[in-house]
Amino acid sequence: MDLTAVIIIVVAVIMVGFAVVAAVRRRDDSVQDAVEAAIASVVGEAREAFDSRLSTGKTELEQRHRAIDEQVQGFKAEVKTMREALTSMQTDAAKQHGTIAEQLSEAARGTSELTKTTGQLKDVLSNPTARGKWGERMAEDVLRVAGMKENVNYLKQTKLPTGRIPDYTFLLPKDERLHMDVKFPLAAHSEYVEAVSESERHEARKRLRLAVRSHVNGLVGRDGYLDSQETVGCVLMFIPNDGLYASIHENCRDETDRALEKGVLICSPSTLLAVLVIVRKAMDTFALERSAQEILGVLGAFETQWDKFTEAITTVSNRADLLRRGVDELMPGGTRRRMMDKQLGKIEHLRESNALNSDNREELETEPIRLAG
């Protein structure tokens, strides 16, 4: 019950009491005493209710005070934690700011060096000879990744019977050849990339198509690589830049289709690697087939020699049997040995007989001497 309601009830009871007193003042004293007793009882109950409510409100107030204190302490702890975290974040932010500033400085220096290097590269690539050397270097990197070795899997700048000198000649099975030239139509491509208006891009696209067509015709024209009899039915044209390769396929679709019809396969570094892997696989397969044939030939020769070896073993075995039988005859108990022993016995018998006769002759010769004496 609210404290205000209790106070209102008490005031109402008091006013009722005064009204009752005023109404019955003229009555007798007994009635007045009863009224006063009732008023006193009501006032006492109101006081007790007021005191109880006051005590309860005080207890609740203390509990709320303690709860507020606990919340305030928790809030203070959170504020302290947040303050420490904020301080740490400020410190880290200061460090990161310094690091970022340093990284930005490094990036600026790197950008400056990259710009300088790009300019130098552009100057170098503006020279056709330098472009060719750079393209050959890219091609050799792809060849090395494909596992090909010079003078084993390919030849470099070897003159053909037609007088042409391809950049690379791949040695295929059955004495066939696959030729490749490095082409780099960078000037026309740069004009197309740097074009601002649509008309400039259109003109640059036309020049790029003409450049591609010129390179293709140079590979398959008169005295081209396909005129050599040992050459397979296609030629590789290597574009040493994937971006330029993509631009050619995007803007020169007709020229790339015409190149395929003429037997020219335009390759980028990635597609050249795939082609070379297939070529290398064909080389390995042919080498394996040739090795298998050689092995079969060797096995056939081995089989022939094995038959001869078996015959020789049989002959030796037969002769060994004869030798063993001959040795057995010569050993004690053997036929030849018995016959020899028999003959030796006869010889011994004759020797003994001769010895006896000799003794008899000596006795006959000495007998006349004894008689004469």
pLDDT of 329 reads 65
For residues 176 and 184, the answer to whether their CB atoms sit within 8 Å is no
Angle, CA of 114, 245 and 222, to the nearest 5°: 125
pLDDT of 94 reads 73
Residues across the chain: 373
On the CB side of 339, CA atoms within 13 Å amount to 4
* Residue extents of the structural domains in the chain: 3-93, 129-292, 311-372
- Full strand arrangement of the beta sheet holding 235-238: 154-156, 168-172, 176-182, 235-238, 264-267
Handedness of CA 141, 143, 149, 151 (dihedral sign): negative
Helix, strand or coil, per DSSP, at residue 231 = strand
Q: What are the distances in angstroms from CA 186 to CA 129, 200, 213, 223?
A: 12, 16, 14, 26
Handedness of CA 288, 293, 297, 299 (dihedral sign): positive
Residue 210's CB: how many other CB atoms inside 10 A? 14
For residues 212 and 159, the answer to whether their CB atoms sit within 8 Å is no
- How far is 269 from 240, CA to CA, in rounded Å? 6
pLDDT tens digits for the chain (373 residues)? 555 666 666 666 666 666 666 655 555 556 566 656 666 666 666 667 666 766 776 777 777 777 777 777 777 778 788 888 888 887 777 777 777 777 777 777 777 676 665 555 555 555 667 777 888 888 888 888 888 888 888 889 888 887 888 889 888 887 888 888 888 777 777 777 777 788 888 888 888 888 888 888 888 876 677 766 677 788 899 988 888 888 888 888 888 888 888 888 888 888 888 888 888 887 777 767 766 677 777 777 777 887 787 888 888 877 777 777 766 666 666 676 677 777 777 777 777 777 666 665 555 555 554 444 4
- How far is 282 from 273, CA to CA, in rounded Å? 14
Q: Which two tokens stand for residue 73?
A: 């302490």
- How far is 102 from 167, CA to CA, in rounded Å? 48
- How far is 73 from 67, CA to CA, in rounded Å? 10
- How far is 92 from 96, CA to CA, in rounded Å? 6
pLDDT of 281 reads 81
- How far is 179 from 228, CA to CA, in rounded Å? 10
DSSP 228: S
For residues 155 and 109, the answer to whether their CB atoms sit within 8 Å is no
Q: Which two tokens stand for residue 130?
A: 């330098």
Q: How many Å separate Cα 212 from the centre of its chain? A: 36
Beta bridge partners of 178: 170
Q: How many Å separate Cα 318 from the centre of its chain? A: 66
For residues 208 and 248, the answer to whether their CB atoms sit within 8 Å is yes
pLDDT of 118 reads 55
CA dihedral of residues 276, 278, 280, 286 (deg, nearest 10):
-150
pLDDT of 371 reads 44
Please report where in the chains the tokens 């007021």 appear, as a residue.
Answer: 50
pLDDT of 206 reads 86
For residues 93 and 43, the answer to whether their CB atoms sit within 8 Å is no
